[in-house]
Chains A and B, each alone.
Chain A
Amino acid sequence: MALLEIKNVTRRFGEFVAVDGVSLAIEAGEFFTLLGPSGCGKTTLLRMIAGFDLPDGGSVLLDGKDLAESPPEARPVRTVFQSYALFPHMTVEGNVAFPLQMAKIEEREIAPKIAAALEDVRLVGFGKRYPHELSGGQKQRVAIARALVTHPTVLLLDEPLAALDAKLREEMQIELINLQKDVGITFVYVTHDQTEALALSHRIAVMNAGRVEQLDEPSRIYGFPKSRFVADFIGHCNLLSGPVAANAAGVITVDVAGLGAVRVAAASTLAPGSPATVALRPEMIRIGAEAAAGTPDNHFRGTVAELLYMGDVTVYRVDTPGGQKVEALLANSATGRAKFFEVGDAVEMSWPVAAGHFIEE
């Protein structure tokens, strides 16, 4: 039995359905992420797990026990808030001691627990400081130490890294992974940042308009998106749509307007004529000045219309003669890290059938 079960949970605000019949089973020790754009219902769902909000329908079960009757203060669940919500009138120690005092832990047992929690988040020596004397990253660590000090069953994290700058965010991501491994507590993480979700999670639930679009491991979410929404939301993706032209021997041909017949490996029984989409990641496209050797499964010609030089890679937006735009990505592996093509260059694009991912509409 899963540790945390969300069964058919629905939450409405007036006419607006924030969470629409969501069911999830989160295992003990898992790093689970709710990923989606703002307004997709992920934060509402998190608040219902924490107890700040109650579902209009369905139930939240922890260890098989329905939490409906438990107020937030009675749930063995802790939250790390996006704004950190540190108590400004208490020192770091005071903040971390707070949940211990609320749990009526004996005074002499509190100090060692605080010390251990601050060590876990690498904040030894910061105990006497006040929150306004800390940097953003340090405040974040205090918030985590405060939430973990009582060893909750589940830790909820609501976009905890959103307020940090990019470099610090990456550092904190690695620390979060290590921390979660060390303490072994189930993390439920909410974010709208897909790279963060991919980097941190064991499993991701991609949410859209109150529903779970796809629930899977990061590599499956990225490589095999179930819907156009997931493909588009997670990373960059060429979405090549059109009717199915042929379906034979595990290879489907989709007739894409402005491009031509795109062939993709898929085990689908979709009949010719049905609408479908081929999701193709930019980095899966081979792009060169000359056509690839042999006969590639998919081969198209185009002209570089726009490009984004990003140092390590360059993103090329290629226009085909038919007017379809295709995004391709190429590492700047030449000496001097120069880009390979300029705007206006004619290029040849090719990819095997296995590079694309077939999505039924």
Chain B
Amino acid sequence: MPARKEGHVGKWLVSGPPLLYLVVFFAVPTLIMVLASFRTPGEFGGLAPLVDEAGKLDLNAESYVRFFTETVYAAVFLKSIVYALVTTFLCLVIAYPLAALVAKSPKKYRDLLLLLVILPFWSNFLIRIYAWMIILGPQAALARGVNGMLAWLGQEPVPLLFSSFAVLVCLVYVHLPFMVLPLYANLEKHDPALLDAAQDLGAGAWQRFWRITFPLSLPGVYAGAALVFIPALGIFAIPDILGGPDDTLIGNLIKQQFLETRDWPFGSVLSIVLTISALALAGLAAFVGRRNLVTPSSEEAARA
């Protein structure tokens, strides 16, 4: 039927360009990386020829063996996961009240408040990280205040900059909007009659939150957690600029392999493991999330 065929063409016209984009700029590079992970590093960086002088295909799993036998890499990995988890948790704790406040505020102020949430995006990511160098620097009011207090208590002064503390503060700061926005989008849809009903049925404020609002906001929590956790897991700029010597994360390690050590195959292995762990964790979250997950608007949808 002509009408159906036309719909078919239209579908491809709409979904074709993004599909092409993803194939060219995501799928193909990923495959190149997978291939690189099985090759031998070149003598002066980069990759050794795929076919060696003897005419043999030079593919091996040495980089993988190295990753899984030397515990130092697993330790960095674990540390990165811990940093990302702590960042996600802190973002959730800070973003939830903020998102709830925006969702509960009068409609005419909501856009303004959301604008304030995304305002940091208007300035460059690196500039914002450098700004934290100034805020946390030893001559800044914050460090002076903290160390003044510590001195008064008879404690040794602590550096704020170039520390895990600085890295975490900045990780939370950078990722906060990614938690606020999905949470807001979810909380804003909640039917206030449900809270009235819960209160009417004897629930105090605390129970109304834990029994009604929070379970209904879980889709937003999962979305926000994924949006924070995945980028936080791979980040390298923040530990590079604000971290101390112990704050090398998996992102830094990958960057080092490509730019400093120039061991591309091992860098590829690290990247692949990072991608797979992020996917696995996201998949796990989705699996946990799907069980008994009902969005606050699904009842409305079912009724319509």
Contact = CB atoms under 8 A, between A and B. Distances in A.
A162 to B, nearest CB: 14
Nearest to B195: A85
A203 interface: no
B111 interface: no
A88 B201 contact: no
A99 interface: yes
A102 B199 CA distance: 10
B200 A89 contact: no
Interface string B249-293: 000000000000000000000000000000000000000000011
Contacts of A136: 303
B290 to A, nearest CB: 13
A117 to B, nearest CB: 13
B294 A150 contact: no
B156 interface: no
Nearest to A72: B199
Contacts of B295: 88
A53 B207 CA distance: 21
A81 B303 CA distance: 16
A131 B301 CA distance: 12
B58 interface: no
A130 B295 CA distance: 12
Among B199, B207, B215, chain A packs the most CB atoms within 10 A around the CB of B199
A194 interface: no
A87 interface: yes
A86 interface: yes
A99 B202 contact: yes
Contacts of B33: none
A88 B298 contact: yes
Given A88-B294, A132-B298, A102 B191 contact: no
Q: Which of A89, A132, A146, A147: most chain B CB closer than 10 A?
A: A89
B302 interface: yes
B204 A88 contact: no
Interface in B183-203: 191, 193-194, 196-203
Contacts of B296: 88
B203 A86 contact: no
Interface in B204-226: 204, 207, 211-212, 215-216
B299 interface: yes
Interface size class of B (residues with CB under 8 A): 20 to 34
A136 B299 CA distance: 11
A229 B292 CA distance: 51
A354 B250 CA distance: 94
A83 B296 CA distance: 14
B204 A89 contact: no
A95 to B, nearest CB: 9
B191 to A, nearest CB: 7
A132 to B, nearest CB: 4
B202 A85 contact: no
Interface string A101-112: 011000000000
Contact of A85 (B193, B216, B303): B193
A79 interface: yes
Nearest to B298: A132
A102 B210 CA distance: 12
B207 A85 contact: no
A250 interface: no
A321 interface: no
Given A88-B294, A89-B294, A132-B298, A146 B193 contact: no
A52 B294 contact: no
Contact of A73 (B202, B215, B216): B202
Q: Which of B193, B202, B298 has the most CB of A within 10 A?
A: B202
A81 B196 contact: yes
B197 A102 contact: no
Interface string A122-161: 0000000011110010000000001100100000000000
Which of A74, A81, A87, A132 has the most B CB atoms < 10 Å from its CB?
Answer: A87
A318 interface: no
A131 B191 CA distance: 14
Contact of A87 (B207, B212, B303): B212
A83 B303 CA distance: 11
A98 interface: yes
Contact of B196 (A85, A86, A98, A103): A85
Contact of B194 (A71, A87, A146): A87
B303 A86 contact: no
B200 A83 contact: no
A78 interface: yes
A52 B192 CA distance: 12
Contacts of B301: 132
Task: Kindly list the 6 A-B residue pairs having the minimum CB-CB distance in the complex, ordered from nearest.
Answer: A102-B202, A132-B302, A85-B197, A99-B201, A85-B193, A88-B299
Given A73-B202, A102-B201, 15 more contacts: A52-B200, A72-B199, A72-B200, A73-B201, A73-B204, A74-B202, A85-B194, A87-B194, A87-B197, A89-B292, A89-B293, A99-B201, A99-B202, A136-B303, A147-B200
21 contacts: A50-B200, A72-B199, A73-B199, A73-B200, A73-B203, A73-B204, A74-B202, A79-B200, A83-B191, A86-B197, A87-B194, A88-B216, A89-B215, A89-B292, A89-B293, A103-B202, A132-B294, A132-B301, A146-B201, A150-B201, A150-B202
Interface of B: 191, 193-194, 196-204, 207, 211-212, 215-216, 292-296, 298-299, 301-303
